[in-house]
Structures are given as C-alpha cells and as structure tokens.
Chains A and B, each alone.
Chain A
Amino acid sequence: GAGVSQSPSNKVTEKGKDVELRCDPISGHTALYWYRQSLGQGLEFLIYFQGNSAPDKSGLPSDRFSAERTGGSVSTLTIQRTQQEDSAVYLCASSLLPRGVGAETQYFGPGTRLLVL
C-alpha cells in the first residue's frame, strides 16, 4: 500500500511569510508525528497526534508553530512569520499504534525541505 506522503517536497519562502506543510499518513495508522531535521540539531521531535487524544505539543520550538490533524488522518503543520532558523527538512511519520510490540514502528515520509530567505 501507499506510504506516508508529504507536500510540497520543497518550499522556498521569504522571511515573515506563513507556510503550511501537509502530511498524509498510512491508511489506518492512528499515530502521527512531526519531526524536524536540521544540520545543527539533528532530528528533533515536534508534535505527536494519537487518535482523538490531545496532541503532545511539547516539542514545538515556539508559538509560531502549530499543527492540526483533521478527521484523524491528514495533518497540517503551520509555521507563522517564518524565520531563517526555521529552514530545515520537516519529516512526518505515522505508526499503527504509539506503543506495543511491533506496532509502534514509525514510517517516515520523504519530507518537506523548507528554505526561508
């Protein structure tokens, strides 16, 4: 079946603009995660959605970052008033369950490469 898809694959924006990044998880996966990969910071956790529970937003770096997940499927990560330090690859992942033997494996999308000029 289809894997995790993300769009756009690349995004160039000007400092101060808002951007929206989209993630389509694997069908049937209840857990969805956003990570950020940047040269200086490695892979950082941003936010996690599990079913209808309140999301774990503890990894969001500032209040300019927000995310939602509609209908328990597609998720959008929004960055308002982008800054140059937001330039990174934003990765989305999904898993069947957040934990449990064999079921918590996270499958990653190809990422969105964001460049803020």
Chain B
Amino acid sequence: GDSVTQMEGPVTLSEEAFLTINCTYTATGYPSLFWYVQYPGEGLQLLLKATKADDKGSNKGFEATYRKETTSFHLEKGSVQVSDSAVYFCALPSDRGSTLGRLYFGRGTQLTVWP
C-alpha cells in the first residue's frame, strides 16, 4: 500500500550548515508529494509541495525535487538557521478509492540548529 519512509532524527546542525532529510515513498500512481513543518508548540504548516515528476517545490530556502526514478522527495536547504528548528514531515495523499483523501505521513524528523 501507499507509504512514506522518512529519515529519522534527531538531526543536530550548526547554523549555516547544509541540510538533507531523506524521504522515499511507495505509491500505486504518481501522487503529489508534500513536506510539512511543525514549529515548537504550533500546528502543522505546509512547507512545500510538488505535483508531478521532476517538479521542484521550494519555500523559505528549502527545496525538494520529485524523483520518480528513485521514488524520493528529499528535503534540502543550503544554509540552515536557528529558526528552522522544528519537526519536518514528508507526506503523500492516498490515491486508492477506499482511502482516497487521507495523507500518509512519515514519522517526522526533529531538526535542531545551534547558533
């Protein structure tokens, strides 16, 4: 069935370091892919998305490219900031009739950035 496998953390980086959080997926079709972020004490916010193969989603300096050949949607940022400290979730929507609409989430990756 549809699923998401996400690199588990925690990830601890110094400010201005390069970030990669791996995400791979299993799906019957070619769903849209999402990254959500949860800042401390807050709800989930959409960070970026990609709707088809080879699309690159980007926002706030974060990028992720939809790779059909490797079924991956890795999140990257060239220079992290302390304010990026949060939990990041990779997600895909179900494309199956009986479960249509629900999101499958990865387990989440806790990122802590030190000054």
Contact = CB atoms under 8 A, between A and B. Distances in A.
B32 A98 contact: no
Interface string A43-57: 101001010000010
Contact of B102 (A45, A101, A105, A110): A45
Contact of B93 (A35, A42, A104, A111): A104
Contact of B44 (A91, A98, A101): A91
A56 B104 CA distance: 15
Contact of A42 (B32, B42, B98, B105): B105
Given A43-B89, A104-B93, A105-B46, A33 B103 contact: yes
B95 interface: yes
B43 interface: yes
Contact of A99 (B34, B52, B100, B108): B100
A101 B51 contact: yes
Contacts of B46: 105-107
B49 interface: yes
Contacts of B45: 108
A104 B105 contact: no
Given A42-B107, A43-B89, A108 B102 contact: no
A59 interface: yes
A69 to B, nearest CB: 13
B101 A31 contact: yes
Interface string B86-110: 0001000101001111111111100
Contacts of A110: 42-43
Interface of B: 32, 34, 36, 42-46, 49, 51-52, 89, 93, 95, 98-108
Interface of A: 31, 33, 35, 42-43, 45, 48, 50, 56, 58-59, 91, 93, 95, 98-99, 101-102, 104-111
Given A35-B103, A104-B32, A106-B46, 8 more contacts: A33-B102, A50-B100, A50-B101, A56-B98, A56-B102, A58-B98, A93-B103, A108-B44
